[in-house]
Amino acid sequence: MIDPETVARYELPGHLRAVPDEIDAAGLPVTGALPPELDGRYLRNGPNPLPGERSGILQAGHGMLHGVRLRGGRAEWYRNRWVRTGAFHGRPFVTPDGRLDRAATSANTHVIGHAGHVYALVEVGLPYEVTPGLATVGPCDFGGRLTTAMTAHPKRDPGTGELHFFGYGFVPPLLTYHRLDAKGELVHSREVPVRAGTMMHDFAITEHHVVWLDLPMTFQPALAAQGMPYGWDDSHGARLGLMRHDRPGAEVTWFEIEPCWIFHVGNAHEDESGRVVLDAVRYSAAEWTALWTLLSRADAARGFAPSAAALAGRSHLHRWTLDPATGTATGQRLDDRSVEFPTIDDDLTGRRSRYLYTVTGGEPGSRERCAIVKYDTAAGARAAAYELDADTVLGEAVFAPATGGPRGEDDGWLLAVATRRDGSASRLLVLDAARVEGGPVAAVELPRAVPTGFHGSWLPEPA
């Protein structure tokens, strides 16, 4: 029997505390007025161990989806469901004969829609299809054609409707590029040569290029026993790669940059001179090392247990400009405020976009409150912010475009889950993206506290 002190060590506190069950609730209370044009589902993913399982590491735990159905100015329902992966049912990731079972992972990082399907994602395993009602359908390998893991951050090209993604691993192939067509068929896969196995959490696309992030978190077998087999490697260096995705077999052009880490990309585009401009959240070597040490500690709950927004206490919005004509890369910090979880209007993925939305704050001892921060990237400056009270933490802000005709880039809504720091209650906030500083136009009272998690999507009802 596990003694109570040991159990407490592995139970994350307050706003990170896992929920013990699955529930349904209808007719949710709303403060303010929900925009009647919001017709769809807000879905959010995050780690949520089963009762009695250890949960002292922020990234660990089976995936749990939380969903809210909005329609006609009403919040019709809330429900939450575990993603029933192989890991959920107790299957080992490594089989007795030494093979990796990509369906035996926890799909706990993101949830997206593509070609009429909904997928729960984690970067080390296969996507898991779920129904619009959040029931698990099962692992998806696209008819046997996907033989690697799938990143939790695929990118849909708004011009073609194609979904670009990749898989990385610690044994060959170390990096593989994939593309689904607009109908959801896997139509292209190719191995991308890299010099070592690295942890590659995100990437970017432009109209013609993939932007790779080859950064100094390399596979180190000696660390595997600690739960995270990747560690900072000064000798690896850091570089960004450009690869034409419209030319099969195109080589990668690499650009050396100052060593850093990038968890999440905002957007990338090609300028009039053919240069590629990448906006992303950057950690210095020291900032990343401190954060990774924290995230990898099994006893994190004893001290500082970070919110998703609190990860921003160590990172800043940064811009790199890659010039294929000269082979050089330049970089600049866009703001001194610490931010994370950048999001945009997904209809502008890979194209020039003006507005970017981030979250910040929430670190214990910090004077900075959690906030949604809007940037005007054309001006390279912070445009607006909405701060919450000191006792509330905030998750990622997802953009839902306005409907019904021509619109400006920030004509739409931001949806984010706000949870009391003590884990007592949660609300789904809805803000006007054009007037973030005005605060929520509506707040949906959720029937339970939703633990601060990772990434989500707005999935509108088909027209």
User: What does the H/E/C string look like for the chain?
Assistant: CCCHHHHHHCCCCHHHCCCCCCCEEECCCEEECCCCCCCEEEEEEEECCCCCCCCCCCCCCCEEEEEEEEECCEEEEEEEEECCCCCCCCCCCECCCCCECCCCCCCCCEEEEECCEEEEECCCCCCEEECCCCCEEEECCCCCCCCCCCCCCCEECCCCCCEEEEEECCCCCCEEEEEECCCCCEEEEEECCCCCCECCCCCEECCCEEEEEECCEEECHHHHHHCCCEEECHHHCCEEEEEECCCCCCCEEEEECCCCEEEEEEEEEECCCCCEEEEEEEECHHHHHHHHHHHCCCCHHHCCCCCCHHHHHHCEEEEEEEECCCCEEEEEEEEEEECEEEECCHHHCCCCCCEEEEEECCCCCCCCCCEEEEEECCCCEEEEEEECCCCEEECCCEEEECCCCCCCCCCEEEEEEEEECCCCCEEEEEEEHHHHHHCEEEEEECCCCCCCCCCEEEEECCC
Which region, left, alpha or beta, applies to residue 156 given φ > 0 means left and ψ of -120 to 50 means alpha?
beta
User: How many Cα atoms are found within 13 Å in the side-chain-facing hemisphere of 332?
Assistant: 6
Of the CA atoms within 13 Å of residue 29, those in its CB half-sphere come to 7
What is residue 223's predicted lDDT score, i.e. its pLDDT? Answer: 81
Instruction: Report CA dihedral (76, 83, 151, 161) to the nearest 10 degrees.
Output: -40
Which pLDDT does position 441 carry in this prediction?
98
Would you state the pLDDT for residue 7?
Answer: 41
Each residue's pLDDT tens digit, 344-396: 999 999 999 999 999 997 655 555 789 999 999 998 889 999 999 999 999 99
Q: Which two tokens stand for residue 278?
A: 């990448």
- pLDDT computed for residue 460 by the predictor: 97
Length of the chain: 463
Residue-level pLDDT at 8: 45
- Quick check: bond before 173 cis, omega within 30? yes
Domain ranges of the chain: 4-460
User: Residue 333 burial by CB count (10 A; 0-12/13-18/19+): exposed, middle or buried?
Assistant: exposed
Q: Which fold has domain 4-460?
A: Neuraminidase (2.120.10)
pLDDT digits (tens, 9 = 90+) for 53-90: 865 566 778 999 999 999 999 999 999 999 999 999 99
Residues 423-460 pLDDT 10s: 999 999 999 999 999 999 999 999 999 999 999 999 99
Give residue-wise pLDDT tens across range 146-166. Answer: 999 999 999 999 999 999 999
In this prediction, residues 259-281 reach a mean pLDDT of: 97
Within 10 angstroms of residue 4's Cβ, the number of other Cβ atoms is 8
* Residue pLDDT, tens place only, 29-61: 999 999 999 999 999 999 999 988 865 566 778
Which of 206, 212, 220 lies closest to 193 in space, CA to CA? 212
Residue with the bigger pLDDT between 252 and 221: it is 252
Residue 226 has pLDDT above 90, yes or no: no
Predicted model pTM: 0.94
Summarised one tens digit per residue, pLDDT across range 271-328 is 999 999 999 999 998 888 777 776 665 433 333 344 444 444 578 999 999 999 999 9
Per-residue pLDDT tens digits for 177-214: 999 999 999 999 999 999 999 999 999 999 999 999 99
d(CA 79, CA 172): 40
